[in-house]
Chains A and B, each alone.
Chain A
């Protein structure tokens, strides 16, 4: 049986994360090349939207990751509040900038898809507005986590904000059903999809790539956070950096 407490030690996890991160970055790069190849060379031109639909190969995966990362961040926040674990709080902090980056990419690419298809870069539509709220939640989390001199107080305050902000995730997801929105409904669901198979594969490969990248980036960031927090400990000072 795996001793999870052993891996919850920052000293152990620092080494484990350092070993894992390059593999996740390599997987992300390979999947991105495959996804872009399928998206631009294999997937056909959309009958209605023309070529601009190819924005979906980054817009949809970025949107998925923006919500998924927030959910995982809130879970880590919940674990850190409940069990007072240092590593969980550090992981929540490590995820936030990557989540904010994907939320920005989702909003930006959506805007540049909206101009030629809807005729406008921005509209205060329920889906888009709730995604913008998600970006502000990420900014709030990062600001609150760094607002205290004592990082543990910052951990607790930001974890609470992350948990409260989870309420926004179903609002984003179901906004296209609950309100009459300009944004289209879900094209892909667990029940199936109406998309061309090459379009779907291009999107799924890019989603996997973004997922692998998120893991690699958060593991790399958590290593820096661990070093910042543990710099006065014996094990950190004994590390050999190459």
Chain B
């Protein structure tokens, strides 16, 4: 196992980081979209 541990760890770690990065990206995009809605509401309130 120890011979191949590095290759296994690099594979699984990269996959986990890629999925985690995508989930963070999804969260950030939703937060940005919600800010856009809030801005529209503010503009509407000003009118």
A and B part of one assembly? yes
Please provide the chain B residues from 10 to 47 with a CB less than 8 Å away from any CB of chain A in the complex: 10-12, 14-15, 18-19, 21-23, 25-26, 29-30, 32-34, 36-37, 39-41, 44
Q: Which residues of A contact B (CB under 8 A)?
A: 50-52, 54-55, 58-59, 62, 97-98, 101, 104-105, 108-109, 112-113, 115-116, 213, 217, 220-221, 223-225, 227-228, 231-232, 236-237, 239, 241
Chain A's closest residue to B44 (CB) is A237
Contacts A51-B4, A52-B7, A108-B14 given; does A236 touch B26 at CB 8 Å: no
Instruction: Count residues on chain B whose CB falls below 8 Å from chain A CBs.
Output: 29
Number of A-B contacts (CB under 8 A): 87
Does A237 contact B40, Cβ atoms closer than 8 Å? yes
A116 touches B7 (CB 8 A): yes
Report Cα–Cα, A115/B15, bound state, in Å: 17
Say what secondary structure dominates the interface of chain A: helix
Instruction: Give the secondary structure class of B's interface.
Output: helix
When chains A and B are docked, how far (Å) is the Cα of A105 from the Cα of B4? 18
Contact A236 to B19, CB < 8 A, known contacts A52-B4, A112-B11, A116-B4: no
* Residues A213 and B15 in contact in the complex (CB < 8 Å), given A97-B25, A116-B4, A228-B33: no
Residue from the list B10, B18, B37 in contact with A104, Cβ < 8 A: B18
